[in-house]
Structure 1
C-alpha cells in the first residue's frame, strides 16, 4: 500500500496521507504522461512562461544585476499560481481523459479571489527576499551596483564577495524552505477545494512534517529540474514548467485526502 490516511482532530483541516519517500518519482511519471497526452497546450503554456522569464532576467542582467537572485527566487514563488491553468487541465485528464480549455478557464474563475490572496502572501515573501538580497549586495559593494562583467568576474575570486555569495545562498535557502513548506500543495488545494490560504498553507506544512523524506526528495526534484530550465536560458522551462505543474497536481491528489 503506497500511503495511509492520517486524520487530525480538527474537522476544518483535510486529511493528510503518509506516503513513501519515493512517491515523488511516481508524481513525475504521472505528470509526464499528462504532458504527452496534451503536448500542444502544455508546451504552449511552458513557452509563455519561459519567454516571460527570459525577458525579465534579460532586463535585470543588463540593468540591475543585483536583482537577479531575487528574480530567480521570485520565479519559484509565483510559479504555483501561474500553474493553476495546468492544474485544471490535469484534473480534466484525471476525470474524463479529455480537455476543454474553456471549461478549464471557467473552473479556475470561482477561486481567483483566494488564489489572489495566496499570491499576495507570496508577493510579500518576494519583497522580503528582494530586500535581503539587496542588503547583502549593499554590504558587499558599499552601495554601488556592480556592472555585470565586474560582478561575474569578482563573485568567485574576491573573498569578501564569496562570503556575500554564501550569505545570499544561506538566506535564499531559508526563504525557499519556508515558502516550499507553505506552498507544496497550497495552490492546487485552493483551486480544487476553494480553501482559504491559511488552511492551504497549514495543510502544506502538515504534509511536509508528516512526510519529511518524500518532501525532501520532491524539493530536490523541483530544484534540479528548475535549475535545468534556468541553465538553458529558460528554454528548458518550455518542457519543465508544465511537467512540474502536472506532477504537482498529482502530488496534491496523493498527499491530501
Structure 2
C-alpha cells in the first residue's frame, strides 16, 4: 500500500505569491480522512452537534418538499448543496484551529467566512448559477415526461419504480449526475482552500478540478463515500446526519490538506 502523504504544515505566514501544488494520494486516503474527521468531532462534540442539527434541518426541509411538491425536489437539493459547503466551512475552521493547536470556538467557526467575503462571494455566484441550471434542467425533464402536469409524490414513486418509465429515470439521473459532478469537481477542496489561504475563487475552483483530474480514482472513491454515507444517514428520520454531517465536514478539511500543497 502506498505510504500516506503528510500534509503541509499550517502556518499563519501565507505569502500572496505562494502557488498551489496538487499532490497525488493513495486510493485508501479517503478512509484516513474519515478517521481524522471523526477525531476532530470527538475533540469538539458540542460544536459538531450544532452543525449536525443544521444538516438535519436541511434534510427535514428536503423531505417536506418531496412530500408536497416533488417536482421541486432537485431545486431544493441544489440549494442544500449550496448551503451545505458554506455551513461546513465552520467545521473546516474547527479542524484548522485544532491542527494549529488553537482553542475551539463556535463563534469563530460561525464567523470565519467574514474575512474571505470577496472570494466566497464569487464561489457563491458560481454555485448559484450551476444549481439554478440544475433545477431548471430537472423541471424540464419532468415537463417532458409528465406533459399532463407535475405528478404527486405517489406519481413520482410510481414513475421511478415502473420499468416502463426507464427513459424518465435515465434522463433524470443523467441530468443530476452531470450537475452533481460539476459541483463536486469545482468545490471538493475549493472552500477549504479559500479559508486557509484566502485564494481567489477562480484559482480555488480550478485547483479543485486539478485535484480530481490528478487523483480520479481516489477522489471518485471519496465522492462515493460522501454520497453513500449521506444516504445511509437519512434513515431513520435523517438522524444519522447529526454525526455523518460533521464527520464529512471535518474530513473534507483533511482531504484538502493532503491533496494541496504550497510552494512559497
Give the alignment of 1:1-257 within 5 angstroms.
1-3=3-5, 13-58=19-64, 60-96=65-101, 98-142=103-147, 144-157=149-162, 159=164, 161-257=165-261
Provide the secondary structure at the position in 2 that maps to 1:155: helix
- Give the root-mean-square deviation of aligned CA atoms: 2.0
Alignment check: 8 A CA contact 1:70 1:126 kept: yes
- Per the alignment, residue 8 of structure 1 pairs with none
Alignment check: 8 A CA contact 1:24 1:217 kept: yes
Provide the secondary structure at the position in 2 that maps to 1:209: helix
Provide the secondary structure at the position in 2 that maps to 1:14: strand
TM normalised by structure 1 equals 0.90
Alignment check: 8 A CA contact 1:19 1:211 kept: yes
| Unpaired stretches in structure 2, ≥5 consecutive residues | 8-16
Once structures 1 and 2 are overlaid, which stretch shifts more, 130-139 or 91-100? 91-100
Alignment check: 8 A CA contact 2:89 2:109 kept: no
Alignment check: 8 A CA contact 2:82 2:127 kept: yes
Provide the secondary structure at the position in 1 that maps to 2:24: strand
TM normalised by structure 2 equals 0.87
Provide the secondary structure at the position in 2 that maps to 1:180: helix
Alignment check: 8 A CA contact 1:13 1:203 kept: no
Alignment check: 8 A CA contact 2:74 2:134 kept: no
Once residues 105 and 150 of structure 1 are traced to their aligned partners in structure 2, the CA distance between those partners, rounded to angstroms, is: 41
Alignment check: 8 A CA contact 2:123 2:201 kept: yes
| Unpaired stretches in structure 1, ≥5 consecutive residues | 6-10
Once residues 53 and 205 of structure 2 are traced to their aligned partners in structure 1, the CA distance between those partners, rounded to angstroms, is: 29
> In the TM superposition, what is the alpha-carbon distance from 1:68 to its structure 2 partner?
1.4
> What stretches of structure 1 move > 4 A for 4+ residues in a row?
none
> In the TM superposition, what is the alpha-carbon distance from 1:73 to its structure 2 partner?
4.1
> In the TM superposition, what is the alpha-carbon distance from 1:77 to its structure 2 partner?
4.1
Once residues 15 and 154 of structure 1 are traced to their aligned partners in structure 2, the CA distance between those partners, rounded to angstroms, is: 46
Once residues 98 and 29 of structure 2 are traced to their aligned partners in structure 1, the CA distance between those partners, rounded to angstroms, is: 20
Once residues 186 and 17 of structure 1 are traced to their aligned partners in structure 2, the CA distance between those partners, rounded to angstroms, is: 15
Alignment check: 8 A CA contact 2:51 2:246 kept: yes
Once residues 143 and 187 of structure 1 are traced to their aligned partners in structure 2, the CA distance between those partners, rounded to angstroms, is: 42
Once residues 230 and 81 of structure 2 are traced to their aligned partners in structure 1, the CA distance between those partners, rounded to angstroms, is: 8
Provide the secondary structure at the position in 2 that maps to 1:18: coil
